[in-house]
Chain A
Amino acid sequence: MPKVDGAPKVTGQAVYADDIDLPRMLHCKILRAQLPHARILSVDASAARRIPGVKAVITGQDLPIRFGILPVTQDEAALEGEKVRYVGDPVAAVAAVDEETAAAACDAIKVEYQELKPVMSIEEALKEAADEPIQAYTKRSDNVHRMVSYEFGDLAAGFARADHVREDVFFFQGSTHLPMEQHSAVATYAGGRVTLWSSTQVVHYVHRALSKVLELPMSRIRVIGAAHGGGFGGKTDPFAHEIVVAKLAMLTGRPVKCTLTREEVFYAHRGRHPVLMWVKTGVTRDGRITAMHFRSALDGGAYGSYGAASIFYTGTLQTVTYDIPAYKFEGARVFTNKAPCGPKRGHGTPQPRFAVELHLEKIAREIGLEPVELKRRNFVKPFSRAVNWLRITSCGLEECTEKVLAASGYADRQRQPGRGLGFAISAYMSGAGTAIYWNDMPHSEVQLKVDRTGVTLFCGAMDIGQGSDSVLAQIAAEELGLEPKDIHLVTADTDTTPIDLGSYSSRVTFMAGNAAVEAARRMRALLVAAVAQKMGVADLEEIDVADGRIGEFSFEEASVLAEEKFGALASAGSYKPPRIGGPFKGSGVGPSPAYSYSACVVEVTADARSGIVTVERVWIAHDIGRAINPLLVEGQVEGSVYMALGEALMEEQVYRQGLHKWPSMLEYKSPTFLETPEMHTFLVETDDPEGPYGAKEAGQGPLLPVIPAVNLAVQDALGIWIDEIPVTPEKVLRALEAKAKGEPPRFGPKVFPSVPYPEPIRVEPPDPGDLRVGDELEAAFPSSPRVR
């Protein structure tokens, strides 16, 4: 079924933020830092203010209140007044009659800096800062942002009973989201209220940040999500330009627009963290994992963003993929003078997924077991509880694996040099179990109105292209016996729609979907009651709701009957995930009401002469729980494959001389249609008990197995290990050269740096059969901290 917003988007009717053109609108440009690390000694905007057409110039002192997506890292300023931390950090902003004038005014602002030594790598960040740490609030002399350490179960005993133990080091380079649409925001200020249209994934969190920084109550701010040209996690933070246009609108009394250039989008970033990883695993002779110890070091860039959560995500989901009876996880994030990293599709999990899949494959070969078989022996079981207390419900790992192995002919493949297949699996969350800031309210709410206009559904959910509008319309239509086109949608507007927390963590179909089911069933009950009364039927079950009819009446007639009987027809539904986290501090990151599962086989040809790797075919199976719209799910799966292949083979957010090396769509290499292989997508349905109609997520999980499957296919083709992402031609040649010299046939990091991880929090493992959640679970562990 095609998307409800498909036609407007391809015919140019959809109104993106940059399409908004209001009377007397001013254009905003932001002056950004040109040094990676420096103290600001002075900012002189007098010459800029004198330029004709310039209506306002603001600097750090105009917006001194700090903000950030996570309550624990309120470390960003809309305009930095004291120091800059990466090339691209916002310093001043201009509103002028046109963009050229605003740009000229930015160029005329004189900023005097005192340069500080930039920190450009994880290794440097772990050392004492030369001048001063990038962020003072850590109260550390190095540039470590945060560290976590957990031990679940008895690690030493686990390793002691292993027949074989192996350690490996891996590196995953950072990459950016590269959405088609640049970030854009337009603000007005009228009647004492700010209205902001923005290309954002998180209308609600932008609303909160504006309220904080502008010092206005949320009731005086309205945030509207404009038609969206792609986010992938890159528009999940509140951004400087959103706050700046609101402030400039307040100062000038005129509408103000800011659309970032492509270069500025690379600076806004919040993309994939570069992560160094060390992993040690013990297995029995027959390949059962006895213990795993996993360390990560994340290069966070200059600010917190989602980083405190990203650290956890590099560690927590290992246990919902493979059954690990004892697990130790140590994670650290460092600050560097680069654009801040954050959540890119898969948020913190593609890196460990890559590392663990390669690591297990190496172990299997060492103990003489077929790697797929070793992995299968360790798959988690449906309806079980992992060693770190994450609750697994439906799990289609085995079915997904069967599908891709059979379709690709993996087991019977012809072995020939230069051609190879690789297999990998993954798990991902269907929505974070906890909100970003502590509150006990629903995560998603839906309201329905039925009147002479028909059915209107109101929900704060922001459709960023993933299809949430279509899913909401389909669910309401399903419950009311209508077609999706019969449902009018009002979404992503803080004045007119009830809350949805945002399009992140693969949560919208699951949470807004559950809220929509509830709201629509309540509305259906009203319609059915009115029809039953009119028909003189006592048993409401006898009233059919289907094909635009309720009982013997058309939907329209039924709605008249219901309105006569009940007055104005409105219903509401909401969803709050059960509290799942275990009885320990820090258990709030990772729990999800359900996990999706994927399995993938990738076929490559790898040219030993040039090192060039070409992906020929991809088979991917995804446990979606239940596909509410199979076309959309397949689109999400295939989009994930495409994005993963870019990361696996070419994308690199890298720096040279303190600057982003290539902040342009031409130089930052991302695949085209020509690099996109034949894809075979299989949907596996496991009917999750918690999801709407059994549905789980599709937007992120399918990216995860593709990357390690590429590396493993290269291994299969050439007999070399590329323990690093991306797999560039040069790395392939270097590994082949090492192989030819009789050295280990490998390219990748050799050592994991020394990180001052804290003593671990030791957690007793749960009973794997204990699936209790919420009050029941918490009552059983009265000392447990409130799940955050």
Chain B
Amino acid sequence: MLRLPRLRYLRPATAAEAAARLAELGTRAMFVAGGTDLFPNLKRRQFEPDTLVQVPPLKGLRRADGHFEIGATVTLAEAAAHAGLRAALPGFAEAAGLVSSPPLRNAGTLGGNLCVDTRCNYYNMTYEWRKSIGFCLKKDGDICLVAPSSPRCWAVSSSDTAPAAMVLGASVVLAGPDGERELPVAALYRDDGIEYLAKQPHEVVTAIRLPAPKGLLTGYVKLRRRGSIDFPLAGAAVALTLDGPIVTGCRVALAAVASHPLEVPEAGAFLVGKRLTDETISAAAELAAKPARPLDNADLTHFWRKKMVRVIVERAIRRAATPSVT
């Protein structure tokens, strides 16, 4: 069977201490929270640290001053089941509830899903398979196998909760050895399959702040082959505000169509000042789909996935707006 490499496992008491240990150990160490993505990757040697630093328990899911403050190690299952969150921000709660499968949502954390490694079906394979096909840029090699003429890595951002957080204007709290800072989720990512996080490697996500203004309508639609287990082939998150039938605000962000969660401001802006009709929804979805660049490195064909982006954006807008669609 595939076995984990031998590892040193550290369990610091606080987030600051965890950050300090990582700062000190550098690339030899990695954070682990739920481990649902990290452990399989370690077994396949996607990562070869000699030390794992456990993110200490950062629990708590509270509503305060028009926003939710959620500890980074709150599990995806806890977030998905939270009545207050489901009522106020159904798009976000549903995104959390659509990650992987029930057992993995019981272990996987929100912080972990926001930071989940980018994926590519040339990369998420065993050491032996990767050795056979030739190692790639993201691990052990110097070429991108999905786009060989490209100088960069095109691994796919595969977090469901990231775009759902992004459309809320959410932020994360990061702890470093010398204190905390707050960073918008939109600024947490970089458009690169390898260096996909913009935070310092030793900074640990301790909390997520989700604005939840009254009247905000949210929706998330996930495209995948099966009703469980699978990472997104595409995802569409929408947040809307309405004044009567007129859209007063709209944000649209996509999962799994680029190396980072992709917000498409044009799509949201297009709807502002308009009614939600079949025509406006369809036009907004078309705008949203434009920058999506799926490649041949995930399930099914990228042609089909590209076509589906429009479909799921439409569905996400309707899902958010129901019953306000005319």
* Chain A interfacial positions (CB closer than 8 Å to B): 32, 34-35, 87, 99-100, 182, 259, 261-263, 609-611, 650, 657, 659-664, 666-667, 669, 671-675, 728-730, 733
Contacts and interface: CB of A to CB of B under 8 A. Distances in A.
Contacts of B62: none
Contacts of A675: 226-227
Nearest to A36: B132
B227 A35 contact: no
Nearest to B303: A730
Interface in B264-303: 299-301, 303
B124 A611 contact: no
B303 A263 contact: no
Given A659-B129, A660-B129, A666-B124, 8 more contacts: A32-B128, A661-B121, A664-B124, A664-B126, A667-B124, A669-B225, A729-B300, A730-B300
A671 B225 CA distance: 9
Interface string B215-239: 0000000000111111000000000
Interface in B14-44: none
B121 A662 contact: yes
Nearest to A730: B304
B1 A259 contact: yes
Contact of B133 (A100, A259, A263, A657): A657
Contact of A650 (B225, B228, B229): B225
B228 A672 contact: yes
Contacts of B128: 32, 34, 263
B135 to A, nearest CB: 12
Contacts of B230: 666, 669
B8 interface: no
A669 B226 CA distance: 8
B87 interface: no
Contact of A728 (B132, B300, B307): B300
B233 to A, nearest CB: 10
A263 B229 contact: no
21 contacts: A34-B128, A99-B3, A261-B126, A263-B126, A610-B308, A610-B311, A650-B226, A659-B129, A663-B125, A663-B129, A664-B125, A664-B126, A666-B124, A669-B225, A671-B226, A672-B229, A674-B228, A728-B300, A729-B304, A730-B303, A733-B304
A432 to B, nearest CB: 34
B1 A667 contact: no
A-B interface, 7 closest residue pairs, ranked by CB to CB distance from nearest: A674-B227, A34-B132, A730-B304, A669-B225, A672-B228, A672-B226, A87-B132
A261 B1 contact: yes
Contacts of A662: 121
Contacts of B226: 650, 669, 671-672, 674-675
Nearest to A260: B1
B131 interface: yes
B288 to A, nearest CB: 16
Contacts of B300: 728-730
Given A34-B132, A667-B299, A669-B299, A733 B307 contact: yes
B3 A263 contact: no
Contacts of B64: none
Contacts of A664: 124-126
Contacts of B2: 261-262
Nearest to B223: A610
A766 B229 CA distance: 54
Given A34-B131, A261-B2, A663-B129, A672 B227 contact: yes
Contacts of A262: 2
Contacts of B225: 650, 669
Contact of B3 (A32, A35, A100, A660): A100
Contacts of A659: 129, 132-133
Contacts of A609: 311
Contacts, number: 69
Interface in B115-155: 121, 124-126, 128-129, 131-133
Contact of B304 (A99, A261, A611, A650): A611
B256 to A, nearest CB: 14
Contacts of B1: 99, 182, 259, 261
A100 B3 CA distance: 8
Contact of A730 (B6, B227, B229, B301): B301
Contacts of A669: 225-226, 230, 299
B221 to A, nearest CB: 11
Contacts of A671: 226
A512 to B, nearest CB: 33
Task: Name the residue in B6, B124, B304, B311 with the highest tally of chain A Cβ atoms < 10 Å from its Cβ.
Answer: B304
A197 B125 CA distance: 30
Contacts of B229: 666, 672
Contacts of B121: 661-662, 667
Contacts of A34: 128, 131-132
Contacts of A261: 1-2, 126
A399 to B, nearest CB: 35
A642 to B, nearest CB: 13
A643 to B, nearest CB: 15
Contacts of A263: 126, 128-129
A223 B146 CA distance: 46
A671 B128 CA distance: 27
B160 to A, nearest CB: 16
A673 B227 CA distance: 9
A650 B229 CA distance: 15
Contacts of A99: 1, 3
B45 to A, nearest CB: 11
Contacts of B126: 261, 263, 664
Contacts of B132: 34-35, 87, 659
B284 to A, nearest CB: 16
B198 to A, nearest CB: 28
A663 B6 CA distance: 25
A99 B3 CA distance: 8
A664 B43 CA distance: 13
A675 B125 CA distance: 25
A670 B312 CA distance: 23
A259 B2 CA distance: 10
Nearest to B125: A664
A87 B226 CA distance: 28
Nearest to B310: A609
B315 to A, nearest CB: 9
Contacts of B6: 100
Nearest to A34: B132
A176 to B, nearest CB: 16
Interface in B54-106: 101
Contacts of A730: 300-301, 303-304
Nearest to B229: A672
Contacts of B131: 34
Nearest to B307: A733
Nearest to A103: B3
Contacts of B308: 610
B102 to A, nearest CB: 11
B128 to A, nearest CB: 7
Contacts of A657: 133
A672 B2 CA distance: 23
A650 B132 CA distance: 26
A669 B121 CA distance: 13
A100 B304 CA distance: 41
Nearest to A35: B132
Nearest to B43: A261
Nearest to A32: B128
A675 B226 CA distance: 7
A262 B6 CA distance: 21
A35 B134 CA distance: 11
A651 B311 CA distance: 24
A34 B121 CA distance: 17
A659 B130 CA distance: 10
Nearest to A31: B128
Task: Name the residue in B124, B129, B230 with the highest tally of chain A Cβ atoms < 10 Å from its Cβ.
Answer: B129
B213 to A, nearest CB: 32
A182 B1 CA distance: 9
